[in-house]
Chain A
Amino acid sequence: MVTRSPLYHRSQVDKLSPEELERYDRQLRLLGFDVESQLKLKRSRVLIVGVGGLGSAAALYLASAGIGFLRIIDDGYVELSNLNRQILYNTGDLGRRKVEVAAKRLRELNPEIEVEALGERLTEENVKQILSDVDLAVDCLDNFRARFILNDACVELGKPLIHGAIYGAEGRLMTIIPGRGPCLRCLIPREPAEHDKIPVLGPLPGVIGALEALEAIKVITGLGEPAVGKLIIIDGMDLSFYRIEVRRNPGCPACGKIKIEGI
């Protein structure tokens, strides 16, 4: 079942209410972040693909930051084995459709925003339609296959994509802006084998999901320097952080033909 909240009117978004000014007070105090930055967030439309471990953290932070429209897509139901890391859900939610629980939780967190819940799987058939009216996508998926479907559609439609992934106590993060830096296929030229039921320590998807939200906020507002062409690798076991350069692959089947912006 698909839950849709009332239609969101972008045209009305030219000011913040006193409640919004208070709600976002702490981020409005940030150097380089002003009311216009907040309005950019309010006008923005973001797709979160997957509301598991990564998606829980990313969605909570993007909702609380005031992204005006969040579309979440996931075909899963809450299972007991999700609860070590998927912080959108409570034990009482077992068996319920994830996107419905998530949408309710996010609307309660921030009634100023619109949340649209799609209880389906992202496929080659539906991906372009689901992406067509958003400004940016956040990859909170749990498999390579769907990630490449999302990557290819984002590249084709020119939508920024925040890539995050985890394994065990490790995380990866890279921001993809088609034409400005490498895409997922430049980073991972060959689709690796898929693994079912991988090990995960709960805080890792929390850390990476939160960083994905940070990157989305930066791309939307123009704040700071997003990790375009930089793969962030975190090893939670010894808290080592690596940031390695990733270059565009001129022969990339997804983005190889896109011209480089501004050069």
Chain B
Amino acid sequence: MRIIVKAFATLREIFGGTGILYLELPEGSTIKDLLEKLREQYGSNLDVSGFVDENPSVKILVNGREITYLDGLGTRLRDGDSVAFIPPVAGG
């Protein structure tokens, strides 16, 4: 299945280009699987502060809904889902 990943702010720069990625994942994959795939691809660059932990500063949205209110990192993805990674920003 194909997942659309949209990265915001500093993460957009790590992903490069427009910050939009199209990824192929096996059926039944979760957010956790997606993160592992992204780590493989972008390595330690993704380990920015608070990207993923028990109390993340980076908000992860699936089709506009935050995963905290779905099944967290265990949220299952479906073909065509859009996943947004939104880190905090500090500019003024």
Is A99 on the interface with B (CB-CB < 8 A)?
Answer: no
- Write 6 A-B pairs (CB below 8 A) sorted by A numbering: A188-B88, A189-B55, A193-B49, A194-B90, A198-B91, A244-B66
The smallest C-beta distance from B83 to any residue of chain A, in angstroms, reads 13
**Listed residue (B55, B69, B90, B91) with the most chain A CB atoms within 10 angstroms of its CB:** B91
Q: Which residues of B contact A200 (CB under 8 A)?
A: 91
Instruction: Name the residue on B nearest A204 (C-beta).
Output: B91
State which residues 216-263 of A face B: CB under 8 Å: 231, 233, 235, 237, 242, 244-245, 247, 249
Cβ-defined contact, B10 with A165, below 8 A? no
**A residues neighboring B (CB under 8 Å):** 50, 52-55, 139-144, 147, 164-168, 170, 172, 187-195, 198, 200, 205, 231, 233, 235, 237, 242, 244-245, 247, 249
Q: Mark B49-92, 1 if CB is under 8 A from A, else 0.
A: 11001011101010010101100000000000000101111111
In the complex, the chain B residue whose C-beta lies closest to that of A190 is B50
Q: Indicate if B23 sits at the interface (CB-CB under 8 A).
A: no
Question: Which residues does chain A contribute within 8 Å of B35, judged by CB atoms?
Answer: none
- Residues of B contacting A50 in the complex (Cβ-Cβ under 8 angstroms): 92
**Assembled-state Cα–Cα distance A215/B48 (Å):** 31
Query: Knowing A188-B50, A195-B10, A249-B55 touch, does A242 contact B61 (C-beta < 8 A)?
Result: yes
Contact B90 A195 (CB under 8 A): yes
Select from chain B the residue with minimum beta-carbon distance to A251: B55
Whose C-beta in chain A lies nearest to the C-beta of B50? A190
Measured CA separation A143–B9 after assembly (Å):
15
Chain B residue contacts of A231, Cβ below 8 A: 59
Instruction: Quote the shortest CB–CB distance from B72 to chain A (angstroms).
Output: 14
Q: Is B15 an interface residue (CB 8 A)?
A: no
CA of A141 to CA of B88 in the docked complex: distance in angstroms?
14
- Cα of A165 to Cα of B10 in the assembled complex, Å: 13
Assess A189 versus B92: contact at CB under 8 Å? Given A168-B9, A170-B9: no
Given contacts A233-B86, A242-B64, A249-B55, contact A192 B92 (CB under 8 A): no
* A235 neighbours in B (Cβ, 8 Å): 8
Closest to B49 in A: A192
Bound CA–CA A242/B60 (angstroms)? 12
Known A244-B61, A245-B66: A55·B49 in contact at CB below 8 Å? no
Inter-chain contact B69/A193, CB cutoff 8 Å:
no
| In the complex with contacts A168-B9, A190-B50, A245-B66, A147-B90 CB distance below 8 A | yes
Closest CB in chain B relative to A175 CB, distance in Å: 16
